[in-house]
Amino acid sequence: MPKDSRPPLRFGIGELAGSLGDFGTILPLSLALAATGALGIGPVLLFLGIWFIVTGYYYRYPVPVEPMKAIAVIAVAAGMSGGEIAAAGLILGGIFLIFGCTNILEIIERYIPLPVVRGIQLGLALLLLRTAAGYILPDPGFFLLGALIIIAGFLVATHFRVPDLSSIAVIAVAIVAGIIIQGFPPISTLSLTLIAVPSWSEIIASLADLVLPQAILTITNAILATSLLAKDLFSADIRPKKLSLTIGLMNLTSIPFGGMPMCHGAGGMAGQYRFGARTGGANIYAGIILIGAALLFASTAWLGLISPGFYAALLIFVAIELARHGVKTSSYLVTITTAVLSLVASMTVAFIAGMCLAYGIPYLMKQIGEKNR
């Protein structure tokens, strides 16, 4: 048998701290979806937790599990129904399961230049900064407190060469502050129900409004950029085909029972790494925390305890970590254009523009060279 090149799982304090590194993205999006009434927070957290544990054990690296961002943002903004959200997740789950069982994704990867993928990474960092700014404005005091805790944690960890526990400290302080201000929310237990079968109108609406933008974002950020970042951070060869397979499976097994559309993500990996995660042990810690929250605190009131300012502090430092790798490019024009368009337009527009530039510039240079002969 070939030797297993994956690292052993570790469960030190650094892995525990790193397990919380992506919560600044996961919890706000999960809460926003649950607040619309389209999905229940209990099943959402339960299946997030289950798949955190599965991916941690399978990959042995901190490969995160996150809400599908385009679906979450569009669904919240447009007030889309639970049926439309479920239809989009099931369709995408089927697509990425097929990609994971074939060589289609490898063909797609071959024709997407690296500067475009780096642009998606950098664009995601800009989007995280914009999201953080939205959290800071109504809550600057708690943002400042969270940022100071993270900076202090970094300085202590660097000086004394100990794990950075700032993410644990931020979440703990946020919960205590929320209880002091809002009181102790009631304990509420989890209940699971099968979702209603989406209607044809919901399926059609999801194809137009949710599936297309999310498919592009998932291929570029959740699969290609995550695979690339794993090489940057861990020198790990996590093939896009594997990431596609787990994305397909997590959606097809979770959504029928009330889970939300999920994927991996370069931003989440950067966040977990930034706060100390180095192995899949961080994922298993995160999964246990989320499953515990789902079983005992299946109410939006519990997530509402955490003030937006604390989320902002976590997101800014995640964005910085992601941007550090996003600028490692062979074409700043392509990467920066893609990143800026991700912020001001959409990931779909950014991807198309980046591809046009990546292929158009060499073509134009070739034409100019031939004319000058």
215/247 Cα distance (integer angstroms): 11
Q: What is the DSSP string of 206-266?
A: HIIIIIHHHHHHIIIIIIIIHHHHHHHHH-----HHHHHHHHHHHHHHHGGGTPPPEE--H
Q: How far is CA 26 from CA 23, 171, 303, in A?
A: 5, 13, 11
**Residue 75 located in a structural domain:** yes
Q: Which two tokens stand for residue 19?
A: 């397990």
CA angle 44, 205, 76 (to 5 degrees): 40
- Which domain covers residue 320, as residue numbers? 13-184+192-371
Mean pLDDT, residues 55-84 taken together: 86
Mean pLDDT of the chain: 87
Predicted confidence band of residue 281 (pLDDT cuts 50, 70, 90): very high
**Residue 331 located in a structural domain:** yes
Beta strands in the chain (DSSP E): 66-67, 262-263
**Residue 99 located in a structural domain:** yes
Q: For the chain, give the percent of residues with pLDDT over 90.
A: 41
- pLDDT winner (highest mean) among 120-124, 126-130, 188-192, 333-337: 333-337
For the stretch 201-220, pLDDT in tens is: 888 888 877 898 788 889 98
* 96 Cβ contact partners less than 8 Å away, ≥ 6 residues apart: 218, 244, 245, 247, 248, 251
73/134 Cα distance (integer angstroms): 14
What's the CA dihedral at 121, 29, 165, 270 to 10 degrees?
A: -10
**Residue 4 located in a structural domain:** no
User: 128-137, 182-191, 209-218, 325-334: which range is least confident on average?
Assistant: 182-191
Q: With 80 as the cut, is the pLDDT of residue 73 above it?
A: no
**Residue 5 located in a structural domain:** no
**Residue 7 located in a structural domain:** no
* 183 Cβ contact partners less than 8 Å away, ≥ 6 residues apart: none
Which has the higher per-residue pLDDT, 152 or 163?
A: 152
**Residue 6 located in a structural domain:** no
**Residue 8 located in a structural domain:** no
Write down the pTM of the prediction: 0.82
Within 10 angstroms of residue 208's Cβ, the number of other Cβ atoms is 9
Tokens 């997530």 belong to residue: 303
Which has the higher per-residue pLDDT, 62 or 1?
A: 62
Q: Residue 298 in contact with residue 45, Cβ under 8 Å? A: yes
Q: Three-class SS of residue 79?
A: coil
State residue 196's pLDDT score: 67
Maximum pairwise Cα distance, the chain: 78
For the stretch 88-110, pLDDT in tens is: 999 999 999 999 999 998 888 88
Q: For the chain, give the percent of residues with pLDDT over 70.
A: 96
Q: Domains in the chain: how many in total?
A: 1
